[in-house]
């Protein structure tokens, strides 16, 4: 028999979000997808959106979204998630629609789709996970790969004379009229995770208030393909990646265009 | 365009309630491309996405004018690549949705069509084909037969392909394409060309009779009151992709058994059997009538569904005739399916005219030659 006192002290303070499926992760040790998933699930719960949300998964490690988030998910061809989300949102404007995309997907093959979805002010939310490499295919050079970074297809390091420069999507999309919210966050320290949650909440609110397109870029890790230990990967995000990809809010609309 | 709004009474636009009787059915002079729009709207399609390309622009122009007035959605995409993915998203939402394009644009949609076939999503894709390859030209052509019928995307999939040869069929086969797409949870194509798209002729807007129930329990509508579900084509675990492919194969076999459409035109007693589809078949009808007046027993088997192909009917016609004349507006594509349908290869002749409509005189000349007369 439990004593009343014991019950008071065993009150649960912290739990798995309702929208996060209770399964063992398949992501590599030190990968930040799990953190982004948890923030996403917490935010879905916060606004009680689980039963009216449709997610769009992209191609790459991030496609496994549907194994972890307990909502309806459509799978898009490589780079096309913003276009698929457009089709879903136009058919069901009362639903909450988000995409979850990697940097190869969003910033290389899907550049056209993301720019035009943003420019239309498509009322969707994009979570963009930037780990400067193609993780699932084995660590090839991505559009966000840092100058000098060695990957399996830039074995001598990325050289701007050959491959151009790492692309800054949060800044680029902030310049478009249709974008309501654009921010870059990281999840390498508890303080950064709190800020990331705040940014995702803002992005969700933009869609809920029908303000237009919202995007949150996550600076993420890929220890496996970077050839680093998880802690070294954290240091890289905090160091050279944050220097080139500054964290912050690049655009925040306060009033909808139609007002 | 304003007068067209009166052609289909509002009650023919059923929306959710798909079964509706025609209030007033008037015969009208109608353009082929517009008949496609009317067929789609009558079948309950309220979502259209597209990207401009000649010779099908009447379709997005009509849809952009009329869909918003009936609570529908028209959206012009930044490319055909985006278009087919808008379509994917709306199809995944369980709504009837259509796009139209022409050869170069349909090429860009092949990726999305493969994903939709793999994800089992229904939609109607209209190809008002033009000359190719490459940018080609805007003249009518049947050069997209292979791409449509064999399916140009990766991975091996099939889709129903319907080939109208009149404005009336542009209307009725579009409605049928929506039913086929929903019945099989698969994209379906209407393959026309610049001539059936641009020509005008009398047309009767017969009411839409749905042959499939409208419920789509697989649609992604938010997981209220049920477990979450996905629309996807990725199957990595164990032999799941093999199982999935056999499932798709059984679906395509069922199409072959149940969905063959064809027309027999004066084929009884014909010693010269023409096989032609779409615009080419329309021209052949004139040539056949002229040949019959001259006492030459010519007839035609017209495949209306190009996939599934009416192989048994082609074989039957080849069995009965002395000569099988395949007429196409290309340099020979459907003729390969005709050869595969029958063992009488020695009876098969081909008359092709790439990127131009053959005249009835040209076809009559060929028929006369085959009948042993002067052309």
Q: Which of A58, A59, A74 to mutate to test the interface with B (most CBs of B within 10 A)?
A: A74
Q: What CA–CA distance (Å, rounded) separates B341 from B150?
A: 15
When mean pLDDT is compared across A143-147, A184-188, B5-9, B186-190, the lowest value belongs to B5-9
The encoded tokens of residue B10 equal 């509002």
How many other CB atoms are found less than 10 A from the CB of residue B367? Answer: 26
Q: Considering CB atoms only, which of A80, A87, A116 is closest to B90?
A: A87
Name the pLDDT band for B375 (thresholds 50, 70, 90): confident
Calculate ∠ Cα A114-A79-A28, nearest 5°.
115
Q: pTM surpassing 0.90? A: yes
**If you average pLDDT over every residue of chain A, what do you get?**
95
Among B91, B99, B90, B97, smallest CA distance to B128 is for B99
Q: What is the pLDDT of residue A8?
A: 65
Q: Distance (Å) from the C-alpha of residue B88 to the closest C-alpha of chain A? A: 6
Q: Considering CB atoms only, which of A50, A74, A112 is closest to B89?
A: A74
Chain A residues with CB under 8 Å of B95 CB are 91
CB of B149 within 8 Å of a chain A CB? The answer is no
Q: What is the pLDDT of residue A255?
A: 84
Contacts of B210 (CB under 8 A, 6+ apart): B18, B19, B43, B44, B179
Q: Across residues B144-170, what is the average pLDDT?
A: 97
Q: What CA–CA distance (Å, rounded) separates A43 from B184?
A: 37
Residue B210 contacts residue B18 (beta carbons within 8 Å):
yes
Name the pLDDT band for B362 (thresholds 50, 70, 90): very high
Q: What is the pLDDT of residue B13?
A: 39
pLDDT tens, position by position, B210-229: 999 989 999 999 999 999 99
Bridge partners for A181 per DSSP: A214, A252
Contacts of A119 (CB under 8 A, 6+ apart): A176, A177, A178
Q: Is the peptide bond before B179 cis (omega within 30 degrees of 0)?
A: no
**Inter-chain residue contact B231 with A87, CB threshold 8 Å:** no
Name the pLDDT band for B12 (thresholds 50, 70, 90): very low
Q: Distance (Å) from the C-alpha of residue B80 to the closest C-alpha of chain A? A: 11
CB of B73 within 8 Å of a chain A CB? The answer is yes
Name the pLDDT band for A234 (thresholds 50, 70, 90): very high
Q: What is the pLDDT of residue A11?
A: 77
pLDDT tens, position by position, A189-219: 999 999 999 999 999 999 999 999 999 999 9
Phi, psi of A153 (to 5 degrees): -115, 5
Evaluate if residue A22 carries a pLDDT over 90. Answer: yes
Contacts of A12 (CB under 8 A, 6+ apart): none
Three-class SS of A189-258: CHHHHHHHHHHHHHHHHHHHCCCCEEEEEEECCCHHHHCCCHHHHHHHHHHHHHHHCCCEEEEECCCCCC
Residue A144 contacts residue A130 (beta carbons within 8 Å):
yes
When mean pLDDT is compared across B12-16, B98-102, B225-229, B253-257, the lowest value belongs to B12-16
CB of B91 within 8 Å of a chain A CB? The answer is yes
Three-class SS of B92-143: HCCCCEEEEECHHHHHHCHHHHHHHHHHCCCEEEEEEEEECCCCCEEEECCC
Q: What is the pLDDT of residue A4?
A: 56
Q: What is the pLDDT of residue A7?
A: 62
Please name the CATH architecture into which domain B264-370 falls: 3-Layer(aba) Sandwich (3.40)
Chain B residues with CB under 8 Å of A53 CB are 222
Q: Which residue has the higher pLDDT, B369 or B17?
A: B369
Q: Which of A87, A90, A100, A113 to mutate to test the interface with B (most CBs of B within 10 A)?
A: A87
Q: Distance (Å) from the C-alpha of residue B258 to the closest C-alpha of chain A? A: 30
Q: What is the pLDDT of residue A2?
A: 52
Please name the CATH architecture into which domain B2-203 falls: 3-Layer(aba) Sandwich (3.40)
The encoded tokens of residue A151 equal 């990957």
C-alpha separations of B256 from A32, A191, B145, B276, B309 in Å: 49, 61, 18, 19, 8
**Inter-chain residue contact A95 with B90, CB threshold 8 Å:** no
- The full set of domain ranges for chain B reads 2-203, 264-370
Q: Across residues B76-97, what is the average pLDDT?
A: 98
Q: Across residues B117-142, what is the average pLDDT?
A: 96
Domains in chain A (CATH in brackets) are 26-252 (3.40.50.970)
**Inter-chain residue contact B88 with A84, CB threshold 8 Å:** yes
**Inter-chain residue contact B89 with A89, CB threshold 8 Å:** yes
Evaluate if residue B4 carries a pLDDT over 60. Answer: no
Looking from the CA of B361 toward its CB, the CA atoms found within 13 Å total: 0
Name the pLDDT band for A3 (thresholds 50, 70, 90): low
How many other CB atoms are found less than 10 A from the CB of residue A13? Answer: 4
Q: What is the pLDDT of residue A10?
A: 75
Calculate ∠ Cα B166-B169-B172, nearest 5°.
160
pLDDT tens, position by position, A238-259: 999 999 999 999 999 998 766 5
**Inter-chain residue contact A76 with B47, CB threshold 8 Å:** no
CB of A50 within 8 Å of a chain B CB? The answer is yes
Q: What is the pLDDT of residue B5?
A: 42
DSSP string computed for B301-367: EEESEEES--HHHHHHHHHH-SEEEEEESSSSSHHHHHHHH-S-GGGEEEEE-TTSPPPHHHHHHHH
Residue B192, SS3? strand
Q: What is the pLDDT of residue B24?
A: 59
Q: What is the DSSP letter of B10?
A: G
Q: Across residues A105-115, what is the average pLDDT?
A: 98
Q: Across residues B350-354, what is the average pLDDT?
A: 96
Q: Considering CB atoms only, which of A57, A74, A83 is closest to B82?
A: A83
Contacts of A97 (CB under 8 A, 6+ apart): A53, A54, A55, A56, A85, A88, A89, A123, A124, A125, A207
Evaluate if residue B17 carries a pLDDT over 80. Answer: no
Q: What is the DSSP letter of B252?
A: H
Q: What is the DSSP letter of A151?
A: B
Evaluate if residue B19 carries a pLDDT over 80. Answer: no
């Amino acid at each position: 028999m439990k004593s009343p006192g014991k019950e008071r002290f065993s009150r649960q303070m912290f739990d798995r979000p309702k929208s996060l499926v209770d399964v063992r992760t398949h992501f590599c040790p030190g990968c930040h997808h799990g953190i982004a998933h948890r923030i996403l699930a917490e935010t879905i719960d916060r606004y009680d959106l689980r039963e009216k949300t449709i997610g769009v998964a992209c191609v790459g490690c991030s496609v496994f979204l549907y194994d972890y988030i307990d909502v309806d998910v459509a799978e898009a061809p490589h780079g096309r998630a913003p276009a698929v989300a457009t089709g879903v949102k136009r058919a069901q404007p009362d639903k909450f629609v988000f995409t979850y995309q990697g940097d190869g997907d969003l910033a290389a093959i899907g550049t056209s789709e993301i720019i035009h979805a943003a420019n239309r002010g498509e009322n969707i939310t994009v979570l963009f996970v930037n780990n400067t490499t193609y993780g699932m295919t084995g660590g090839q050079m991505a559009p966000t790969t840092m100058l000098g970074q060695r990957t399996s297809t830039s074995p001598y390091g990325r050289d701007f004379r050959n491959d151009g420069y790492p692309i800054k999507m949060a800044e680029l999309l902030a310049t478009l009229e249709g974008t309501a919210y654009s921010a870059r966050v990281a999840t390498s320290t508890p303080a950064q995770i709190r800020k990331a949650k705040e940014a995702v909440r803002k992005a969700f609110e933009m869609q809920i208030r029908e303000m237009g397109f919202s995007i949150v870029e996550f600076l993420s890790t890929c220890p496996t393909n970077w050839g680093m230990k998880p802690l070294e990967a954290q240091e890289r995000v905090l160091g050279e990646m944050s220097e080139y990809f500054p964290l912050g809010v690049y655009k925040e609309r306060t009033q909808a265009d139609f007002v | 365009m304003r007068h067209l709004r009166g052609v289909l009474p509002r009650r023919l636009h059923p929306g959710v309630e798909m079964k509706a009787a025609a209030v007033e059915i008037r015969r009208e002079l109608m353009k082929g491309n517009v008949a496609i729009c009317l067929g789609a709207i009558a079948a309950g399609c309220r979502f259209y996405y597209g990207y401009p390309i000649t010779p099908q622009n009447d379709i997005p122009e009509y849809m952009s004018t009329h869909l918003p007035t009936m609570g529908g959605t028209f959206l012009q995409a930044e490319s055909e690549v985006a278009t087919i993915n808008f379509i994917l998203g709306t199809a995944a939402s369980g709504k009837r949705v259509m796009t139209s394009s022409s050869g170069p644009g349909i090429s860009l949609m092949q990726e999305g069509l493969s994903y939709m076939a793999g994800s089992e999503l229904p939609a109607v894709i209209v190809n008002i084909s033009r000359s190719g390859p490459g940018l080609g030209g805007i003249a009518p052509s049947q050069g997209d037969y292979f791409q449509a019928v064999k399916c140009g995307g990766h991975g091996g999939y099939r889709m129903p392909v319907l080939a109208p040869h009149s404005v009336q069929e542009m209307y009725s086969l579009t409605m049928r394409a929506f039913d086929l797409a929903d019945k099989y949870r698969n994209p379906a194509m209407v393959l026309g060309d610049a001539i059936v798209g641009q020509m005008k002729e009398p047309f009767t807007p017969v009411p839409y009779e749905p042959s499939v129930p409208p419920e789509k329990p697989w649609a992604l509508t938010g997981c209220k009151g049920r477990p979450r579900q996905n629309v996807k084509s990725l199957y990595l675990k164990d032999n799941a992709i093999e199982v999935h492919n056999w499932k798709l194969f059984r679906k395509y076999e069922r199409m072959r058994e149940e969905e063959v459409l064809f027309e027999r035109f004066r084929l009884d007693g014909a010693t010269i059997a023409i096989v032609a589809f779409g615009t080419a078949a329309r021209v052949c009808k004139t040539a056949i009538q002229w040949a019959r007046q001259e006492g030459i027993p010519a007839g035609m088997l017209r495949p209306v569904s190009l996939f599934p192909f009416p192989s048994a009917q082609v074989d039957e016609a080849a069995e009965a005739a002395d000569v099988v004349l395949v007429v196409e507006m290309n340099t020979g594509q459907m003729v390969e399916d005709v050869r595969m349908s029958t063992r009488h290869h020695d009876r098969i002749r081909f008359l092709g005219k790439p990127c131009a409509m053959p005249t009835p005189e040209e076809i009559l000349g060929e028929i006369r030659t085959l009948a042993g007369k002067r052309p």
